[in-house]
Structure 1
Amino acid sequence: MQKLHYPGVEETLYYEQLPNGLSVYLLPKEGFQKTYATFSTRYGSVDNHFRSGSQPLTRVPDGIAHFLEHKMFEEPTGDIFATFASQGASANAFTSFDRTVYLFSATEQIEANLTTLLDFVQHPYFTDQNVDKEKGIIAQEINMYSDNPDWRVYYGLIEAMYQKHPVHIDIAGTVESIYKIDKELLYLCYNTFYHPSNMLLFVVGGIDSDRIMELIRSNQAAKPVEDIGEIERFFDPEPQGVREPLKSIRLQVSLPKCLFGFKEKTNGLGSAELLVRDVTTKLMLETLLGSSSPLYQSLYDDNLISDSFGYEYNCSTDYGFSIIGGDTSDPDRLVERVKEAIGDALQSGLDAAAFERTKKKRIGSYLRMLNSPEAIAGEFTRYKFRGQDLFELLPAYESLTLEQANARLREHFDLSQLAVSLVLPTAEQGAEPS
Structure 2
Amino acid sequence: MIREWTSDRFGERYRTMRLNSGFEISHYYKPFSLQAAFLSVDFGSLHREYTKTTGEVMGHPMGSAHFLEHKLFERATEDINLKMAKLGVSVNAYTSYDRTCFYFFGSSCFEEALTLLLELPVFPEFTEQGVEREKTVIAREIELYEDDVDTLAYRGAIEALYPGHPISEEILGTADSIEEITAASLREIMRDCYTPSRMQLLLIGEFDKGVLEKIADALPAAYHEKREDVRETSHEVTGTSMNQIRTFSETPLPGFMYLQKLPLISEGKERTMHHLQWEIILESLTGSASTLYTHEYAKGTILSLNSYTVDYPDVSFLCIHGEGREPEAFFDSLQRELLKLESAMIDPADFLSIRKRRIGERLRSFDQYAEISFRFFDQRRTGLSLFEEADLLFQLPEQTIYLPKGDWVYSVVSKEYK
TM-score tier (shorter): over 0.9
1:48/1:224 CA distance change after superposition, 3 Å: closer
Instruction: Tell me whether 95-104 or 243-252 shows the greater mean CA deviation.
Output: 243-252
The match for 2:293 among 292, 296, 311 is 296
1:394/1:265 CA distance change after superposition, 3 Å: closer
Q: Which residue of 2 aligns with 1:52?
A: 52
* 8 Å contact kept, 2:162–2:240: yes
Q: How does 1:32-431 map to 2 (within 5 A)?
A: 32-54=32-54, 56-210=56-210, 212-220=211-219, 222-223=221-222, 226-239=225-238, 241-266=239-264, 269-306=266-303, 308-404=304-400, 406-407=401-402, 409=403, 411=404, 413-414=405-406, 417-427=407-417
User: Structure 1: any 5+ residue segments left out of the alignment?
Assistant: none
Query: Which stretches of structure 1, 4 residues or longer, exceed 4 Å deviation after superposition?
Result: none
1:76-124: per-residue Cα shift (whole Å, max 9, x none)?
1132111111111111111111111111111211222122111123211
Q: Which residue of 2 aligns with 1:26?
A: 27
Structure 1 counterpart of 2:327, which letter? P
* 8 Å contact kept, 1:42–1:385: no
Q: CA deviation at 1:368?
A: 1.2
Query: What is the distance in 1 between the residues matched to 2:343 and 2:143?
Result: 45
Structure 2 counterpart of 1:263, which letter? K
1:11 aligns with 2:15: no
Instruction: Tell me whether 125-134 or 62-71 shows the greater mean CA deviation.
Output: 125-134
Q: CA deviation at 1:351?
A: 0.9
* 8 Å contact kept, 1:5–1:11: yes
Instruction: Find the residue that maps to 2:54 and give its secondary structure.
Output: coil
* 8 Å contact kept, 2:23–2:224: no
Query: What is the distance in 2 between the residues matched to 1:19 and 1:345?
Result: 49
Q: How many residues align?
A: 417
Instruction: Find the residue that maps to 1:75 and give its secondary structure.
Output: coil
Instruction: Tell me whether 66-75 or 115-124 shows the greater mean CA deviation.
Output: 115-124
- State TM-score, norm by structure 2: 0.94
Query: What is the distance in 2 between the residues matched to 1:170 and 1:349?
Result: 36
Structure 1 counterpart of 2:4, which letter? K
* 8 Å contact kept, 1:316–1:386: no
Query: What is the distance in 2 between the residues matched to 1:218 and 1:225?
Result: 10
1:37/1:225 CA distance change after superposition, 3 Å: closer
Structure 2 counterpart of 1:231, which letter? V
What is the alpha-carbon root mean square deviation over aligned residues? 1.9
Q: Percentage identity across aligned positions?
A: 29
1:362/1:44 CA distance change after superposition, 3 Å: same
Query: What is the distance in 1 between the residues matched to 2:414 and 2:271?
Result: 36
Query: What is the distance in 2 between the residues matched to 1:163 and 1:86?
Result: 47
Instruction: Find the residue that maps to 1:357 and give its secondary structure.
Output: helix
* 8 Å contact kept, 2:259–2:410: yes
User: Structure 2: any 5+ residue segments left out of the alignment?
Assistant: none
Structure 2 counterpart of 1:280, which letter? Q
Q: CA deviation at 1:22?
A: 0.9
